[in-house]
Structure 1
Amino acid sequence: MIDKQLVQKRFSERASTYDQFASVQKTMANELMRRIAVLPKTILEIGCGTGYLTEKLRQAFPEASITAVDIAEGMIAVAKARLGGSDIVWRCGDIEAMGIEERYDLIISNATFQWLNEAERTITRLFSSLNEGGQLLFSTFGAQTFHELHTSFQASLQQHRITEALRIGPTFPTLVEWLACCERATNTVVFGNETFIVEHFPSVRDFFLSLRHIGATNSTTGRYCQRPSVFKTLVREYEERFSEDGAICATYHCLFFDITR
């Protein structure tokens, strides 16, 4: 279960450093733009963050009215500063809790749906908010995201003879699981595919710092391990197992979904 208050707090705190470290998210946003198949007059963007995708939408569809939503006030503030005195409608709130009164030609969301607690219900609501012929387009992260980290953590637990079901960060659904969720939610054909992006960092510490700078540290409820000895072993295992040319690898499992009403 995602702690939404913690998500809100962490992303607000890291709004000023997000763009500098969110290269994968920018790549995913660019890919979403390539997949837009409608000429929208009305757009709803969910999880607008610092406005990177919002700016591209405004440039591509200058005549469209855009409503941009984000849970974090700090992100909204940076996005507003980025886009100046535009006529974009900004809404700060949790899309799972807020009402959607209008209908849209395009509903789009980049690297946000991994923070949903009730994805199927939310996708049903969004799909019903599309105009006929409208497009719901989103990206998120899949089950193999940071598999290096999770593998190293499990190896560390084994070495410390810890049998309790502990975790480090959230776990994400697979492509097949997301497709099934979307099809149940919309009762229509859903197109989805996956790709992998590998980033490299000088050390595991630098990898963790990059996550902190974008606010993407653990925001789930439940038990997780905080023992320093376990993390020391995790770092050693990570560096021994997943290093290339003096840098450690971190894999993003990127999923893309396209649903037309």
Structure 2
Amino acid sequence: MPQWSPQTYLQFADERSRPFVDLLARVPGERRTIVDLGCGPGHLTALMRSRWPAAEIVGVDSSPEMIATATAENTDPGARYVEGAIGEWFPDEPVDLIISNAAFQWVPAQLEIVPRLREHLTPGGVLAFQVPNNFRGPSHVLLRELAAADPYARYAEGAALSRGVTAATYLDLLAGPGWTVDAWETTYLHVLAGEDAVFGWMSGTGARPVLQALPDELRPQFVEEYRSVLREAYPRQPYGTVLPFPRVFVVVAQDVV
């Protein structure tokens, strides 16, 4: 399990939050009890609060660093944060909304776990989530190729897996009697500022397991090689570096009879 850095993750907070805003816009109705799975540093709580002012919000994340940041910086009396793994933590009672932003891709058995989350919804409840689907993009292809090469392969084996799931796969998985599924895919063109911006983005998320798997004496060499190939794949423009980023969105609503 990699250690996550809230500071590194939040370097591109606006770009990382944009898909969550788009997801919230498609969640129907009033929601009084909400679980945010993979809540990270709690930076999205305010967006949920603005949509549902009276809701009770529980954020869950497997990273103690993320939970510590969320708890320390939270000023919302109606929100709390708990440490727990997505595949193992469930609410004590059914809730109106289970929501997740860019977290299910880290769950190895997500295609078994995600459907079970519906069992923890109240009548008329909603499961809503978005996940990256950029694993065929240069940032991930180059990461996998470099991690599989010597001298890194012996340390980084299995750390740079492709975790993409299509919208159609989620639709087939979750559609059925009693459930309405809205599934779609959007590609964002993030314009990132700064030097080696794509590396900065990746070091906070997709590349982090590889970087932490490498021994201290090899990590600087890997970082420099990865930076170099990313610069070539994503040339910096006068207005910034463009990172195309496909994401899959799913909103599953229980039909009310």
State whether TM-score is above 0.5: yes
Deviations 1:101-133 (A, max 9, x none): 210111111111111111122112211111121
- Residue aligning to 2:247: 254
1:77-110 deviation line (CA, Å, top 9, x unaligned): 2222332261323221102122432101111111
Deviates more, 1:169-178 or 1:106-115: 169-178
What is the rounded CA distance, in whole Å, between the counterparts of 1:154 and 1:73 in structure 2?
A: 27
Output the amino acid matched with 2:107.
L
Tell me which of 15, 26, 37 is aligned to 1:35. 26
Do the aligned partners of residues 157 and 67 (structure 1) sit closer, same or farther apart at CA in structure 2, a change above 3 Å counting? closer
Q: Is 2:114 aligned against 1:123?
A: yes
**Contact preservation (8 Å) 1:124, 1:186:** no
Amino acid at match of 1:107: I
User: Are the aligned partners of 1:113 and 1:140 in contact in 2 as well (CA < 8 Å)?
Assistant: yes
1:149 equivalent to 2:139? Answer yes
Give the CA deviation at 1:176: 4.3
Q: Aligned with 1:131: secondary structure?
A: strand
Aligned residues: 246
Aligned equivalents of 2:11 and 2:143: distance in 1? Answer: 27
**What residue number does 1:239 align with?**
231
Partner of 1:54: 45
Distance 1:183 1:106, change over 3 A: same
Aligned residue in 2 for 1:97: 88
Q: Do the aligned partners of residues 83 and 147 (structure 1) sit closer, same or farther apart at CA in structure 2, a change above 3 Å counting?
A: same
Find the residue that maps to 1:22 and give its secondary structure.
helix
Deviations 1:213-242 (A, max 9, x none): x3543437xx99x79888766655543443
| Residue 219 (structure 1) aligns with | 209
Inter-partner Cα distance in structure 1 for 2:92 and 2:159: 38
Q: CA deviation at 1:179?
A: 1.9
Q: Structure 1 residues 235, 30: CA separation in 2 closer, same or farther (over 3 Å shift)?
A: same
* AA at the equivalent of 2:237: D
Q: What SS class does the counterpart of residue 94 from structure 1 fall into?
A: coil
SS, match of residue 190 in structure 1 = strand
SS of the residue 2:209 aligns to: coil
CA distance in 2, matches of 1:259, 1:101: 21
Residue matched to 2:65: 74
Q: Which residue of 2 aligns with 1:19?
A: 10
CA contact (8 A) 1:49 1:76 kept: yes
Q: Percent identity?
A: 23
> For each residue in 1:29-59, what CA deviation from the matched residue of structure 2 results, as whole angstroms up to 9, or x when unmatched?
2112211202012111111112122122123
Contiguous gaps of at least 5 residues in structure 1: none
Structure 1 residues 173 and 187, CA gap change in structure 2 (3 angstroms): farther
Inter-CA distance 229–186: structure 2 relative to 1 (3 Å threshold): farther
Q: For 2:245, give the aligned amino acid.
A: Y
Q: What is the CA RMSD across the aligned residues, in angstroms?
A: 3.7
User: Greater CA deviation, 120-129 or 81-90?
Assistant: 81-90
Gaps of 5+ in 2: none
- Superposed displacement of residue 15, structure 1: 1.8
CA contact (8 A) 1:148 1:250 kept: no
Q: Which has the higher helix share?
A: 1
Q: Distance in 2 between matches of 1:209 and 1:76?
A: 22
- SS of 2:98's equivalent in the other structure is strand
Residue 100 of structure 1 aligns to a residue whose secondary structure is coil
Tell whether the 8 Å contact from 1:175 to 1:192 is kept in structure 2 after alignment.
Answer: no
